[in-house]
């Protein structure tokens, strides 16, 4: 009798486990269907990263590359969004650029999801949201909130220690799946290294003159509201940074450290001829000090815990900008898009034979400074999306 | 912050009710506590979060279960008896040196893999019979294993908590070697002598020799050691030659265990594997529960509340908060403590030399592996020596843990003066 009861309990537990597996399994599988940008007026072609490195074909690391070819020849520029899937202003800036930009001179390549695999899952233990919705020109549109690292379904297990190729630098094993520790990549490496290699190949093949990598950081991280540039890009970055400051955007400029490897601003500058620039904005949903997960936190950039942290002097950014509490997505995307504008203008000034000229993309003023504060937190950004 | 505080209290309350009033297993209590936290925090029934949180510990669970299978194979095949007898025969005349050597052997897997569990379950399980044969009581042996595992995890060349803390502010893992050596080895030698010397110094070798089981050594010769040597080679090889891919600890243990099935005494492999998994099931359950618990803590803002509260204290009190909160938070895992509290504490001490501070914080965070309910180092040390409960081990290790904390704080306070230790 007792044995029968145990068998029944075991069967019930097994049935419950199967039900949980099916429900959550379907949820996790759905996360692989990524929302993509709508083609804007300047998009001339949509290619895949595997067109530059065939080793990515058929993998979850193969990612769309939007090409915006200008009416006149000029320089070439690459914008990397979605290096880290938990830093939404990176890929939302890329979306905004793709859906609005008209290129007059030169060619612009935009990758909205640089680590596409990282967009298909969330970091265990971080309690992140999976999706957020914005009201756009065509109605509500849902976007993914992803992970900092490649999906373990695509690359697993992590080694105990990650040894960067080719420098030999050692980092924690989980960094093996961080594409911004994998550059310059290698064709026979792991999936993340292959994706990094694909980006480097695109840069080499298309002679990309200027590369942007768009990031966010937790407000308690020292390098924030900042631009980090490879030493070769410092003259352009300095000129662009002064323009940003004159436009009322607080921006610090740092030269890429030579002893920290795997990042775009170090390795793409060293292993290709591009001018590599990385920008960081303040993301309230990213740090260890953050409060409860919500759309207000992710899009509105507001968080009670960070208000407390600011009072404790723990933050490296002011928590109120122009009278607005927190760092709404419009401010963060505005910084990125204005940064791209100013740095690319500086590049064109320095290279008059290879200008990059575009229009139609909202900047810091349109998205944030001149916006009605009651609509910040997604609505203003949404109004620029199709 | 009222909602976060209420959520935290609800989580703790449900956990304690489950454990002590309803006598539920710790793992089930943690699941219920996570569900209660989500409900109070206004997040509904968070099925996706519960499953996602569980996945935080998949790798650790695989290491634990495969290490346990490896340990049983070593035991059943006779390799354990063989190596115990060799060590005692060779080194019994120098008891202090022998104890220090045993401690280094216990630490070795942790030094290579960065895991205290690997240390305790592999080298720890091999050295435990040696210590007990020499007269060290069961409790002291378990304490040596637990502290050896923890210090092995922090000792160079591989210290994962330090890597995690360093990555939080983008400092590469270089220059840590000498500071970590000084943070760990003096303490390791102190603890092994503290626990074992008084028993070993008057060891009656003739009596001990009678208890040594040398049959497997005589019968199988050198081949009896093959699984051990293979495990060491597989652990070390890709660290020495990075071009060789890291196959991961679970595979290292499984390959070595498979080889061990053919190098000594014969035994029922299926029964051994089933026994091994059964013995670690409660710990695996706790880890899954902990994963859910921490996911809900983060989701509801409780994690932020805890971290902010720790950092809101004035300077001197901040050292106390660090000394208390990092090991306590380590109850959910020492790696979690390094990430969640280690990084903010490092940021709050940024005026000091960060490599020394990160190393010292990793040392303090490592004590999380002695903190219930997970207490991986304590639980497995007790299990290896055959103790039914691990609480006596934790009590015995209180003083060493306090010494570890004080040693860590010493390095943080004098971080700038000690920066000459940073080489390369």
> What tens digit of pLDDT does each residue of A122-155 get?
999 899 999 999 999 999 999 999 999 999 999 9
Report the C-alpha gap between A113 and B280 in whole angstroms.
41
Residues within 8 A of A (CB atoms), B 265-294 only:
291, 294
Secondary structure E strands in chain A: 45-48, 64-69, 72-80, 102-111, 131-136, 139-144, 161-163, 170-172, 210-217, 226-229, 252-255, 275-282, 320-321, 324-325, 357-359
Beta bridge partners of A105: A72, A357
Beta bridge partners of A172: A161
Helix (H, G, I), strand (E, B) or coil at A351: coil
Mutate to test the interface with B, among A125, A147, A224 (most CBs of B within 10 A): A125
Q: Does A170 touch chain B (CB under 8 A)?
A: yes
Locate tokens 């190098």: which residue?
B263
Asked if the peptide bond before residue B373 counts as cis, ω within 30 degrees of 0, the response is yes
Query: How would you class B325 by CB atoms within 10 Å of its CB: exposed for 0-12, middle for 13-18, buried for 19 or more?
Result: buried
pLDDT given for residue B1 in this prediction: 58
Q: Which residue ranges make up each domain of chain B? A: 1-45, 46-421
Answer whether B172 sits within 8 Å of A259, measured CB to CB: yes
User: How many angstroms separate the CA of residue A297 from the nearest CA in chain B?
Assistant: 11
Q: Exposure of B122 by Cβ count < 10 A (0-12 exposed, 13-18 middle, 19+ buried)?
A: buried
Measured between CA atoms, the residue of chain A closest to residue B290 is A125
Q: Does B182 touch chain A (CB under 8 A)?
A: no
Q: Which two tokens stand for residue A268?
A: 């793409």
CB contacts, 8 Å: B293 with chain A: none
Collapsing DSSP to helix, strand or coil, B135 comes out as: coil
- Output the CA–CA distances (angstroms, integers) from residue B248 to A98, B231, B239, B383, in the order listed: 42, 11, 12, 24
What confidence score (pLDDT) does residue B246 get? 82
In contact, A106 and A70? CB cutoff 8 Å: yes
Q: Which residues face A252 on adjacent strands?
A: A226
DSSP tag of B124: I
| Min distance B295 CA to chain A CA atoms (Å) | 4
CA end-to-end distance (rounded Å), chain B: 45
CA torsion, points B373, B157, A118, B27, in degrees to nearest 10?
A: -10
pLDDT at A159: 85
Which residue shows structure tokens 């692989």? A32
Among all residues of chain A, which has the CA nearest to that of B59?
A157
Which is nearest to B46 in space by CA: A152, A130, A85? A130
Please state whether A77 falls in left (phi above 0), alpha (psi between -120 and 50) or beta: beta
Chain B positions touching A296 (Cβ under 8 A) are none
Assess A288–B contact: CB distance below 8 Å, yes or no.
yes
Question: How far is B142 from B148, CA to CA, in rounded Å?
Answer: 10
Assigned token pair, A217 = 């950081």
Whether A188 has its CB under 8 Å from any CB of chain B: the answer is: no
Nearest to A291 among B169, B301, B340 (CB): B301
* Chain B interface includes A30 (CB < 8 A): no
DSSP, res A358: E
Cβ of A9 under 8 Å from any chain B Cβ? no
Nearest to A127 among B249, B295, B305 (CB): B295
Name residues whose C-beta falls within 8 Å of residue B177's C-beta, 6 or more positions apart in sequence: B156, B157, B423, B424
Scanning the structure block, which residue is given the tokens 């790696």?
A: B335
Residue B7 contacts residue B41 (beta carbons within 8 Å)? yes
A308 to chain B nearest CA, in Å? 7
User: Which residue in A20, A23, A175 is closest to B167 by CB distance?
Assistant: A175
Dig out the tokens for B224 from the structure: 């009896």
Q: How many whole angstroms separate alpha carbon B39 and alpha carbon A195?
A: 40
Task: Work out the pLDDT band at A1, boundaries 50, 70, 90.
Answer: low
DSSP B367-409: GGGGSTTT-HHHHHHHHHHT-S-SHHHHHHTHHHHHHHHHHHH
Those of residues 77-96 in B touching chain A at CB distance below 8 A are none
Contact check, Cβ <8 Å, B173/A157: no
Q: Which residues of B touch A305 (CB under 8 A)?
A: 1, 301, 304-305, 308
Asked if A291's CB is within 8 angstroms of B305's CB, the reply is: yes
Distances (CA, A) of A179 to A79, A80, A212: 15, 12, 15
User: Are A293 and B295 an interchain contact pair (Cβ–Cβ within 8 Å)?
Assistant: no
B-chain CB neighbours of A259 within 8 Å are 172, 174
The pLDDT value recorded for residue B424 is 54
- Of residues A157 and B408, the one with the higher pLDDT is B408
Distance from CA of B90 to the nearest CA of A (A): 34
- Show the DSSP H helices in A255-378 as ranges: 269-271, 295-298, 304-311, 329-350, 364
Minimal-distance CA residue of chain B relative to A21: B51
What confidence tens digit (pLDDT) does each residue in B133-188 have? Answer: 889 999 999 999 999 999 999 998 888 889 888 877 777 777 898 999 999 999 99
Select the residue of A159, A171, A222 nearest B246 (Cβ to Cβ): A159
Cα dihedral angle (B197, B202, B203, B207), rounded to 10 degrees? Answer: -160
A159 contact B CB<8A: yes
Contact A214, A84 (CB under 8 A): no
Give tens-digit pLDDT for A278-336: 999 999 999 889 999 999 999 999 999 999 999 988 899 999 988 899 999 999 999 99
A27/B3 touch (CB, cutoff 8 Å), yes or no:
no
Query: Is A133 near chain B, with CB under 8 Å?
Result: no
Tell me which residue in A290, A304, A312 faces B1 most closely, judged by beta carbons: A304
CB contact under 8 A, A289 and B312: no
Count of H helices and E strands in chain B?
Answer: 24, 0
Rounded-to-integer distance, Cα A267 and Cα A263, Å = 6
Instruction: Please report how the helices B95-113 and B177-200 are oriented relative to each other, as an axis angle in degrees rounded to 10.
Output: 140
What single-letter DSSP state applies at residue A301? -
Measured CA to CA, the distance from residue B138 to residue B130 in angstroms comes to: 11
Indicate yes or no: CB of B305 within 8 angstroms of CB of A305. yes
CA–CA separation, B292 vs B295, rounded Å? 5
Phi, psi (degrees; rounded to nearest 5) at A41: -65, -20
Residue A169 to residue B174, Cβ atoms within 8 A: yes
Cβ B331 vs Cβ B307: under 8 Å = no
Closest CA to B376 of B124, B103, B189: B124
Does the CB of A177 have a partner CB in chain B at under 8 Å? no
Contact: B114, A222; criterion CB under 8 Å? no
With a CB cutoff of 8 Å and minimum separation 6, the contacts of B127 are B102, B105, B106, B145
**Distance in angstroms (rounded) separating the CA atoms of residues A119 and A358:** 28
Judging contacts by C-beta atoms under 8 Å, the chain A residues touching residue B160 are 160-161, 172-173
Q: Which chain A residues are within 8 Å of B3, Cβ to Cβ?
A: 292
Q: Which of B112, B171, B304 sits opposite A305 (nearest CB)?
A: B304
What is the pLDDT, as a whole number, of residue B379?
Answer: 93
- Nearest-Cα distance to chain A for B65, in Å, is 16
Which B-chain residues 15-34 have CB contacts (< 8 A) with chain A?
none
Strand A102-111 versus strand A357-359 pairing type? antiparallel
Contact A288 B41 (CB under 8 A): no
Contact B164 A172 (CB under 8 A): yes
Q: Give chain A positions within 8 Å (CB) of B347.
A: 220-222, 314
CB-based contact (8 Å) between A160 and chain B? Answer: yes
Q: Which of residues 52-71 of B touch A (CB under 8 A)?
A: 52-56, 59, 62
Q: What Cα–Cα distance (Å) separates residue A40 from each residue in A68, A320, A356, B356, B380? A: 9, 33, 18, 51, 60
Domains of chain A (ranges; CATH) run: 40-289+329-383 (3.40.630)
Q: A315 is written with which tokens? A: 């933050």
C-alpha of B143 from chain center: 12
* Cis check: omega of the bond before A46, within 30 degrees of 0: no
Q: How far apart are CA B39 and CA B37, in angstroms?
A: 5
Residue B101: strand, helix, or coil? helix
User: Residue A108 phi/psi, 5° resolution?
Assistant: -120, 130
pLDDT tens-digit map of A65-98:
999 999 999 999 999 999 999 999 999 999 999 9
Q: Are B153 and B334 in contact (CB under 8 A)?
A: yes
CA distance A295 to chain B (A): 12
**B41 lies within 8 A of chain A by CB:** yes
Residues of chain A in contact with residue B248, where contact means CB-CB under 8 angstroms, are: 157, 159
| DSSP at A356 | -
- Residue B239 sits at the chain A interface (C-beta within 8 Å): yes
Contact B384, B124 (CB under 8 A): yes
pLDDT in tens, A329-350: 999 999 999 999 999 999 999 9
Residues making up chain B, counted from first to last: 424
In the predicted model, is pLDDT for residue A263 greater than 80? yes
Burial of A310 (0-12, 13-18, 19+ CB in 10 A): middle
Rounded (5°) CA angle B348-B349-B352: 155
* DSSP 8-state assignment for residue A362: -
Radius of gyration of chain B (CA): 22
Token code pair at residue B132: 């007990």
Question: Quick check: A284 and A293 in contact, CB under 8 A?
Answer: no
Chain A contacts of B296, Cβ < 8 Å? Answer: 127
- Distance, in Å, from the CA atom of A124 to the CA atom of A174, rounded to the nearest integer, reads 12
ipTM of predicted complex: 0.95
With an 8 Å Cβ cutoff, is A253 touching chain B?
no
User: Which residues, given as ranges, of chain B have pLDDT below 70?
Assistant: 1, 424
A169 touches chain B (CB under 8 A): yes
């Amino acid at each position: 009798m007792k044995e029968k009861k145990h068998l029944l309990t075991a069967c019930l537990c097994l049935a419950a486990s199967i039900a949980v597996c099916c429900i959550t399994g379907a949820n996790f599988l759905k996360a692989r269907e990524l929302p993509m940008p709508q083609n804007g007026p300047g998009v001339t072609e949509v290619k895949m990263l595997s067109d530059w490195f065939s080793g990515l074909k058929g993998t979850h690391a193969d990612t769309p590359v939007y090409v915006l070819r200008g009416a006149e020849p000029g320089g070439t520029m690459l914008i990397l969004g979605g290096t880290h899937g938990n830093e939404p202003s990176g890929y939302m800036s890329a979306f905004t650029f793709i859906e609005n930009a008209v290129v007059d001179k030169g060619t612009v390549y935009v990758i909205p999801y640089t680590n596409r695999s990282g967009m298909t899952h969330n970091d265990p233990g971080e309690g992140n949201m999976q999706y957020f919705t914005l009201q756009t020109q065509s109605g509500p549109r849902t976007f993914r909130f992803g992970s900092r690292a490649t999906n373990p379904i695509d690359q697993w297990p992590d080694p105990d220690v990650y040894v960067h190729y080719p420098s030999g630098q050692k980092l924690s094993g989980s960094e093996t799946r961080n594409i911004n520790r994998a550059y310059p990549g290698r064709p026979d490496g792991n999936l993340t290294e292959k994706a990094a290699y694909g980006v480097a190949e695109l840069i080499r093949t298309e002679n990309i003159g200027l590369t942007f990598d768009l990031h966010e950081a937790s407000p308690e991280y020292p390098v924030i509201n900042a631009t980090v540039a490879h030493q070769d890009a410092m003259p352009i970055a300095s000129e662009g940074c002064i323009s940003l400051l004159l436009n009322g955007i607080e921006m610090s400029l740092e030269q890429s450290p030579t002893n920290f490897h795997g990042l775009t601003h170090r390795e793409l500058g060293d292993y290709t001829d591009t001018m590599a620039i990385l920008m960081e904005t303040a993301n309230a949903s990213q740090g260890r000090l953050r409060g409860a997960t919500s759309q207000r936190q992710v899009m509105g950039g507001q968080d009670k815990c960070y208000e407390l942290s600011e009072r404790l002097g723990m933050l490296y950014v002011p928590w109120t900008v122009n009278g607005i509490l927190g760092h709404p997505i419009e401010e963060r995307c505005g910084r990125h898009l204005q940064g791209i504008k100013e740095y690319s203008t500086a590049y064109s000034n320095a290279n008059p034979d290879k200008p990059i000229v575009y229009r139609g993309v909202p900047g810091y003023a349109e998205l944030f400074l001149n916006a009605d504060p009651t609509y910040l937190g997604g609505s203003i950004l949404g109004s620029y999306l199709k | 912050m009222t909602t976060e505080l209420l959520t935290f209290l609800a989580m703790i309350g449900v956990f304690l009710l489950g454990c002590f009033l309803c006598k539920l297993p710790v793992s089930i209590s943690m699941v219920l506590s996570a569900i209660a936290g989500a409900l109070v925090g206004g997040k509904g029934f968070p099925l996706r979060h519960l499953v996602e949180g569980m996945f935080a510990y998949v790798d650790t669970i695989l290491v634990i279960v495969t290490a346990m299978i490896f340990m049983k194979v070593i035991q059943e095949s006779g390799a354990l008896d063989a190596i115990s007898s060799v060590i005692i025969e060779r080194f019994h005349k120098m008891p202090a040196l022998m104890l220090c050597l045993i401690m280094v052997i216990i630490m070795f897997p942790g030094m290579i893999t960065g895991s205290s569990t690997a240390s305790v379950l592999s080298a720890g399980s091999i050295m435990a019979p040696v210590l007990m044969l020499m007269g060290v009581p069961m409790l002291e042996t378990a304490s040596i294993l637990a502290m050896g595992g923890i210090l092995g995890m922090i000792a160079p060349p591989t210290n994962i908590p330090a890597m995690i803390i360093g990555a939080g502010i983008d400092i590469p893992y270089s220059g840590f070697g000498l500071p970590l050596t000084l943070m760990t080895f003096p303490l390791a030698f102190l603890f092994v002598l503290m626990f074992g010397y008084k028993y070993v110094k008057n060891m009656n070798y003739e009596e001990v020799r009678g208890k040594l089981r040398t049959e497997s050594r005589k019968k199988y010769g050198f081949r009896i050691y093959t699984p051990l040597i293979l495990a060491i080679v597989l652990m070390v090889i890709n660290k020495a030659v990075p071009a060789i891919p890291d196959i991961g600890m679970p595979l290292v243990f499984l390959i070595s265990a498979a080889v061990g099935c053919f190098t000594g005494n014969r035994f029922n492999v299926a029964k051994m594997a089933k026994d091994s998994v059964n013995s670690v099931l409660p710990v695996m359950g706790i880890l899954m529960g902990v994963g859910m618990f921490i996911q809900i803590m983060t989701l509801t803002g409780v994690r932020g509340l805890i971290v902010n509260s720790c950092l809101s204290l004035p300077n001197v009190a901040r050292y106390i908060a660090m000394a208390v909160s990092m090991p306590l938070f380590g109850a959910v895992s020492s790696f979690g403590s390094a990430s969640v509290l280690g990084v903010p504490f490092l940021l709050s001490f940024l005026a000091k030399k960060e490599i020394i501070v990160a190393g010292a914080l990793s040392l303090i965070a490592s004590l999380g592996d002695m903190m219930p309910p997970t207490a991986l180092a304590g639980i497995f040390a007790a299990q290896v020596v055959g103790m039914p409960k691990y609480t006596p081990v934790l009590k015995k290790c209180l003083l060493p843990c306090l010494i570890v904390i004080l040693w860590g704080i010493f390095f943080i306070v004098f971080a700038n003066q000690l920066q000459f230790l940073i080489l390369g």
